[in-house]
Amino acid sequence: MVIKNLDDLRRLREETKQELEGRHGGETQIIVGMGTCGIAAGAREVMTAILSELAKRNLRVTVLQTGCIGMCQREPLVDVVRPGEKRITYGNVKPGDVPRIISEHVVNGRIVEELVVGKIG
């Protein structure tokens, strides 16, 4: 598609947004930074805790792995993206923080502010 004006750009934005929502069914996404810095800081254990907590609560959430998110000093990093809301990045996440993040943010929509290191959107 050739973008010739602002309306074309808006149309492309809407089409792309719908396509991305369709990929994950409009579900909440949890993204875990699994670069070498994240793994060294405990991201595998955090990922295991996330998967366990979601299974225990029987929640339908898309869990994704990514490489380095870019804030190595704040690893392990976990992003939570609820449909239509800002992407929230939690830093220095420990497996013990996971039940609270799932309960408060994923289930009830309340951000766990003291663990937040970034907000996008």
- Output the average pLDDT for the chain: 91
Which band of pLDDT confidence, cut at 50, 70 and 90, is reported for residue 15?
confident
Sign of CA pseudo-dihedral 63, 68, 48, 119: negative
Q: How confident is the model at residue 2 (pLDDT cuts 50, 70, 90)?
A: confident
- Residue ranges and CATH numbers for the domains of the chain are 25-120 (3.40.30.10)
pTM for the predicted model, two decimal places: 0.80
Closest to 48 (Cα-Cα) out of 32, 59, 61: 32
Closest CA to 17 of 121, 95, 111: 121
Condensed to tens digits (0 to 9), the pLDDT of residues 26-76 reads: 689 999 999 999 999 999 999 999 999 999 999 999 999 999 888 999 999
